[in-house]
Amino acid sequence: MLSRVLNRINYRLFFTSFGIVFLSEMGDKTQVTTMLLAGQKPLYVLWVALGSAAALICTSFIEIIIGSNLVARYLKPGIIKIISALAFILLGILLVLGIIGKH
């Protein structure tokens, strides 16, 4: 059973997902909130870390369910790639122009 699962692992997809989520989560409000919570309770950093990790896992799971059951059902992979690319380009332009991301 385990050998079948290991044979079906898509390492490239795993590391791509990990890298994208890791980089996109760096420095966002979730990280700042977690840092502030850990600063308030320095003796309980393990519990803050576990709570933060569990929350990220739960939200990611919800996004995966929505993506696999709704988005993938109605849109072809090529269309999803184009929409994603256009969204990232648009967000990049808005950030560079200072329209979004102002403090």
Q: What is the pLDDT of residues 28-76, one digit of tens each?
A: 778 888 888 899 988 999 999 999 999 989 998 998 898 888 888 888 8
Whole-angstrom distance, CA of residue 41 vs CA of residue 76: 47
Do the domain assignments include residue 103?
no
Do the domain assignments include residue 102?
no
DSSP for residue 42: G
Whole-angstrom distance, CA of residue 18 vs CA of residue 24: 10
CA distances to 9, 66, 89, 97 from 13, rounded to whole Å, are: 9, 18, 22, 32
Do the domain assignments include residue 34?
yes
Do the domain assignments include residue 81?
yes
Do the domain assignments include residue 101?
no
What is the count of structural domains for the chain?
1
* pLDDT single digits (tens) 4-34: 666 777 888 888 888 888 887 777 778 888 8
Do the domain assignments include residue 24?
yes
Q: What is the dihedral of CA 6, 55, 19, 38, to 10 degrees?
A: -120
What is the span of the domain harbouring residue 41? 2-96
